Amino acid sequence: MEKERLKRLLKEIDGKGYKSYKKIEGVYNFGEYILFIDHVQPDPFAPPSKLRIRIPQEIAGFPYSLFSNESREIALRDFLTRKFYSAIKKISKGKRGSGKSGIISIDKPGQEILERTSVIVKREFVEVRFSVGLPAFGRKISSKNAQEIFFKEIPEIVKESLFFKNLNKAELTKHIEVTEDADFLREKLPQLNLVAFVADGSILPRKSGIEDKPLKEGKVIPFKSPEELKIEIELPNNGKISGMGIREGVTLIVGGGFHGKSTLLEALQFGIYNHIPGDGREFVVTSPWCVKIRAEDGRRVEKVDISPFIKDLPFGKKTEEFSTEDASGSTSQASNIIEALEAGAKLLLIDEDTSATNFMIRDRRMQRLVSKEKEPITPFIDKVRQLYRDYGVSTILVMGGSGDYFDVADCVICMVDYLPYDVTKKAKEICLIDKAQREKEGGESFGKITERIPLPESIDARKGKKEVKISPKGLYSIVFGKTTIDLSCVEQLVDVSQTKAIGDAIFYLKKYIDGKRTLREVVEMVMDDIERYGLDILSKFPVGDYASFRKFELIAAINRLRTLKVIQKR
């Protein structure tokens, strides 16, 4: 249909009841682009209407070199989403009328550059997905406002943000090149036997605990690698950079309180993502198989074999198939580790600040007072080397509180006034002079990692009359059928659009659950599908608010589903 038809329709329904907006669902040719009105909201207070715009590449004009590989394509799509967002802010009048009337919106990216469904770029076209609160006063359609949105604001927003010729080329190129370099760096880590890299000059601290932008006020100390750990790498776009390489094995981060230990670890935990230019963490990269581990008391655990860490609980409770509706600090931390290993983690990040003390250490005096027979927990200190030796899983651990860990560390980094020093030699000398008095516990090997098989009936998204009820409630929570999944301790999530995609992915993966495949196998099949066909497969109709996520966060969400039932693979 031609765009004039939309204009006519809008005029016809002016002043009528909101339901009449249904008539405008359809596809309209605006000359320079095609407008898809995919879904019209039932009333002005409901979630806004879903729209797409597709611009042929002959008009959008993006050269293929800007999306010729995966890194570039994702960066370009992210950039265009940001530009569309700021063009809305600049051009649109915003709310006019009742409820969400008049509000144009698109997914808002944060500091990370994630793959998103908000913008799709192909050789043939650029597509943007956004929403509009179709305007009304009360429940009466306001045609004048609707026309202003469709025939004035949206065309301007599109022109300003999605036509190559109108964009800042230097800014766009930088966005793409930084992303490509960060991916290159991350992919290079295994070849160099590294699990993480922090570039010299990086700005690690954030504005505040709730704001992810770089700290600017006061004295900010840029990162500087100790000589011993310094590595130089040639990047495809930004040339040679230097920084600290963290090798495989066991790395300890020590130092006085408030000297920047947790800040370094947090930068590493988000080094699985690429960051926008100016973030300060552009070239802080971590192994994509890294999982942040913490205590999470209160979580549910379903038949996890935590016996490598915990055996013989009071009253003969078995830990080979440990289930609880309300885990303790130590059992939750043990479960989090075993689940991460089940999922294929190769690097664990642990901070003493968020760990259960009795899970991390048990010193000589305590060993004397409470005999091993009366202590179910084998502390992490006795398992961390075996984990690396038996399974090739490295650990980076913040530990300012116990020097017993010097014995098991390959590398000890000390933070002093926000700067890292390599104190490995000194720590090892101390080990010789001042031998640790504690006895090793928990046997000679790490123990078996038992995979689990999810059962189909246990994943049910129905609620009342609704066939499927799944929706994110903020970043860390998903309503899934009759239950709510609590993700507040799944720290590597960064974007509510990831949360949304994860919720739908749990529903999608039901089709692969057959009572034989393990959780990991099922999730990897889903990840393969997404890799091949894109995030769009998670939804029946095109949505603009999915962002990419890792299998670790998906598995973490399933593990926290309170209805989950599994059998162990023996």
Return residues touching ligand ADP (CB under 6 A): 204-205, 215, 220-221, 255, 257-263, 415, 418
Q: Residue 267 has which token pair?
A: 């930068």
Query: Taking CA 216 as the corner, what is the angle to CA 75 and CA 287, rounded to the nearest 5 degrees?
Result: 45
Indicate which of Mg ion, ligand ADP, none lies near residue 259 (CB less than 5 to 8 Å, by partner kind): ligand ADP
Q: Which is nearer to ligand ADP, 294 or 520 (CB)?
A: 294
Indicate which of Mg ion, ligand ADP, none lies near residue 533 (CB less than 5 to 8 Å, by partner kind): none
Residues 6+ apart with CB under 8 A from 386: 444, 445, 446
Q: Which is nearer to ligand ADP, 63 or 209 (CB)?
A: 209
**Nearest Cα to Cα of residue 344 among 507, 523, 513, 504:** 523
Rounded distance, CA 272 to CA 287, Å? Answer: 6
- Closest distance between Mg ion and the C-beta of residue 485, in Å? 28
- Closest distance between Mg ion and the C-beta of residue 353, in Å? 4
DSSP 412-478: EEEEETTEEEE-HHHHHHHHHHS---PPP-S-SS------EEE-GGG----BTTBS--EEE-STTEE
- Closest distance between ligand ADP and the C-beta of residue 254, in Å? 9
Q: Which is nearer to Mg ion, 72 or 292 (CB)?
A: 292
**Nearest Cα to Cα of residue 392 among 197, 492, 247:** 247
Q: Which is nearer to ligand ADP, 128 or 203 (CB)?
A: 203
Q: Which is nearer to Mg ion, 287 or 355 (CB)?
A: 355
Amino acid identity for residue 80 in this structure: L
3-state DSSP assignment of residue 534: coil
What radius of gyration, in Å, describes the C-alpha atoms of the chain? Answer: 26
Residues 6+ apart with CB under 8 A from 171: none
- Closest distance between ligand ADP and the C-beta of residue 209, in Å? 8
Amino acid identity for residue 32 in this structure: E
Q: Which is nearer to Mg ion, 177 or 351 (CB)?
A: 351
Indicate which of ligand ADP, Mg ion, none lies near residue 257 (CB less than 5 to 8 Å, by partner kind): ligand ADP
Q: Which is nearer to ligand ADP, 249 or 255 (CB)?
A: 255
Indicate which of Mg ion, ligand ADP, none lies near residue 220 (CB less than 5 to 8 Å, by partner kind): ligand ADP
- Closest distance between ligand ADP and the C-beta of residue 211, in Å? 11
Q: Could you tell me if 104 and 92 are in contact, meaning their C-beta atoms sit under 8 angstroms apart?
A: yes
Indicate which of ligand ADP, Mg ion, none lies near residue 447 (CB less than 5 to 8 Å, by partner kind): none
Query: Taking CA 104 as the corner, what is the angle to CA 8 and CA 59, rounded to the nearest 5 degrees?
Result: 70
Q: Could you tell me if 342 and 452 are in contact, meaning their C-beta atoms sit under 8 angstroms apart?
A: yes
Q: Which is nearer to ligand ADP, 163 or 421 (CB)?
A: 421
Indicate which of ligand ADP, Mg ion, none lies near residue 243 (CB less than 5 to 8 Å, by partner kind): none
Q: Which is nearer to ligand ADP, 322 or 418 (CB)?
A: 418
Distances (CA, A) of 569 to 131, 334, 435, 562, 566: 45, 19, 42, 20, 9
- Closest distance between ligand ADP and the C-beta of residue 278, in Å? 16
Indicate which of Mg ion, ligand ADP, none lies near residue 111 (CB less than 5 to 8 Å, by partner kind): none
Q: Which is nearer to ligand ADP, 260 or 472 (CB)?
A: 260
Amino acid identity for residue 187 in this structure: E
* Contacting residues toward Mg ion, per CB under 5 A: 262, 353
**Nearest Cα to Cα of residue 117 among 105, 125, 106:** 106
- Closest distance between Mg ion and the C-beta of residue 440, in Å? 28
- Closest distance between Mg ion and the C-beta of residue 260, in Å? 9
Q: Which is nearer to Mg ion, 325 or 353 (CB)?
A: 353
- Closest distance between Mg ion and the C-beta of residue 408, in Å? 20
DSSP 203-260: ---EEETTEEEEP-SS--------GGGEEEEEETTTEEEEEEEEESSEEEEEE-TTSS
- Closest distance between ligand ADP and the C-beta of residue 383, in Å? 23
Q: Rounded to an integer, what is the distance from CA 425 to the centroid of its chain?
A: 36
Indicate which of ligand ADP, Mg ion, none lies near residue 263 (CB less than 5 to 8 Å, by partner kind): ligand ADP
**Nearest Cα to Cα of residue 309 among 365, 384, 247:** 384
Distances (CA, A) of 42 to 18, 21, 351, 473: 7, 8, 48, 21
Q: Which is nearer to Mg ion, 156 or 353 (CB)?
A: 353
- Closest distance between ligand ADP and the C-beta of residue 259, in Å? 4
- Closest distance between Mg ion and the C-beta of residue 297, in Å? 19
The DSSP code for 192 is G
